[in-house]
Structure 1
Amino acid sequence: MNLSWQAVVEKTVTGLGYEVVGCERSAGGLLRVFIDKPLVGGQEPEQPVNVEDCERVTRQLRYVMEVEEIDYTRLEVSTPGLDRPLNNAGDYARFLGHEVEITLREAFQGRKKYRGVLVAAEGVAAEEDPATLAQRTDWRVIFSDGKTEQALDFALDEVRSAKLVPEINFKGRTPGKAGGAAAGKSAAKKNTGLAPQGSESADGVAAKPKASKKKSNAKSRQTDDKVDGGLDQ
């Protein structure tokens, strides 16, 4: 039985040692794939995804899609950018201590969108191993209401979308323990209040890619490399 194009992308990208952050298909047959490097022993990779990584994934995807007879007109492979989406608990654990923007499915106290520092839920040690944190479904964002810091406690199934808030760092991403646990812990300590609640490009290759609530400050990462081109089918 033939695999879906999403399954083909996931299997191919992970097989090359990367992770799929997202993929989408337009009505015109354009496939966009966003990739990143996974953590290595709980640490951020020494180097972020670059053009060479995108080219490597592009070549392999084109080959596999031809074998699997996946119909498309153009393929774009790139990094997810500075405003990287958070799609699962593993992403939340990885970016603990970073500034994020959370959009809830249902409004809480008259608003759905919150922006602040992502920290571990109350009673959860920020220093927990990322693999352990990645199993959790409850999280907290520390945010400011203009006067004081508040906390938004939420479950993953209450979130419509979540993404990193870009912070430009001209020195690049610094390798280190994932998640910014120390930042998350210090932000959590300050919390009081509210209850529940790029692009470089290369030519010649087809490619580019909940009910209880509470919320503070941090940072983001990532370059936005992209490989783009047309399909020679």
Structure 2
Amino acid sequence: MVTFFIVSKSLISQTGLERDIANLVAPTLEDMGYELVRVSVLGKEVPTIQIMADKADGSLISIEDCEAISHAVGAVMDVEDPLPGAWNLEVSSAGIDRPLVRLKDWQRFAGHIAKVELELPIEGRKRFRGYIYSVEDQQVSLRLDNGETVSFLFPNLRKARLVLTDDLIEASSRMVGVKKN
């Protein structure tokens, strides 16, 4: 599986088909009140296009939302035809243990644990796990389990995702107004 993220001043930047698709569908999603999180294209003969989205207001995406996004994105894809031949479309929410692809994701989830892989190593390491400590301009800092802090520039980020913890579940419940028993 190869995953790429849309190009923007605040997103992990990659090139290729995924970027092209993202640039096609992002305006439609924004008009509908959603934000594009990520586009992935999987497979070769009959590729699957995976669209991951958030509601712009931060509330949860429902099955009905995914269906509406699917219809709208499908229509755009049919007209623009960036992929020759047959393809499948999957639409989902970013989920609780979501990928961190936008600077605002890092800011929103400060204090939570993330797993990170960098393009270029820092002191010989490319992979880190720690609490999101700070986000300033294009620099992200993690507090590692040993108490050290590692900082990297956002454009050096290859991939990152939140780690599912009880604290993250609790915080996510509060964000959407869900009461925990």
- Asked whether the two chains share a fold, i.e. TM above 0.5, the reply is yes
Hey, which of these two has a bigger chunk of strand by percent?
Answer: 2
- Contact 1:48–1:173 (CA under 8 A) maintained in structure 2: no
Question: Matched residues in 1 for 2:145 and 2:70: separation?
Answer: 42
Partner of 2:158: 160
- 3-state SS of the aligned residue for 1:97? coil
Q: Where in structure 2 are there 5+ consecutive unaligned residues? A: 1-19, 177-181
- Contact 2:96–2:172 (CA under 8 A) maintained in structure 1: no
Cα distance, 1:67 vs structure 2: 3.1
Deviation string, structure 1 residues 181-227 (Cα, Å, up to 9, x no partner): xxxxxxxxxxxxxxxxxxxxxxxxxxxxxxxxxxxxxxxxxxxxxxx
- Contact 1:82–1:167 (CA under 8 A) maintained in structure 2: no
Q: Where in structure 1 are there 5+ consecutive unaligned residues? A: 122-132, 177-233
Moved more, 50-59 or 86-95: 86-95
Q: CA RMSD in A?
A: 2.4
- 3-state SS of the aligned residue for 2:95? coil
Structure 2: which amino acid aligns with 1:77?
A: V
Q: Which one has the largest radius of gyration?
A: 1
Question: Matched residues in 2 for 1:120 and 1:29: separation?
Answer: 38
Hey, which of these two has a bigger chunk of helix by percent?
Answer: 2
Give the structure-1-normalised TM-score: 0.57
Query: What are the within-5 Å matches in structure 2 for residues 24-173 of structure 1?
Result: 24-26=40-42, 27=44, 28-38=46-56, 40=57, 45=58, 47-71=59-83, 72-120=86-134, 136-145=137-146, 149-167=147-165, 169=169, 173=173
Deviation string, structure 1 residues 15-49 (Cα, Å, up to 9, x no partner): 111111111223223211011123x4xxxx3x311
Structure 2: which amino acid aligns with 1:112?
A: K
- Contact 1:117–1:142 (CA under 8 A) maintained in structure 2: yes
Q: 1:69 to 1:140 in 2, by over 3 A?
A: closer
Question: Matched residues in 1 for 2:124 and 2:170: separation?
Answer: 37
Structure 2: which amino acid aligns with 1:15?
A: D
Cα distance, 1:70 vs structure 2: 4.8
- 3-state SS of the aligned residue for 1:173? helix
- 3-state SS of the aligned residue for 1:174? helix
- 3-state SS of the aligned residue for 2:94? coil
Q: 1:162 to 1:5 in 2, by over 3 A?
A: closer
Question: Matched residues in 1 for 2:144 and 2:171: separation?
Answer: 27
- 3-state SS of the aligned residue for 1:96? coil
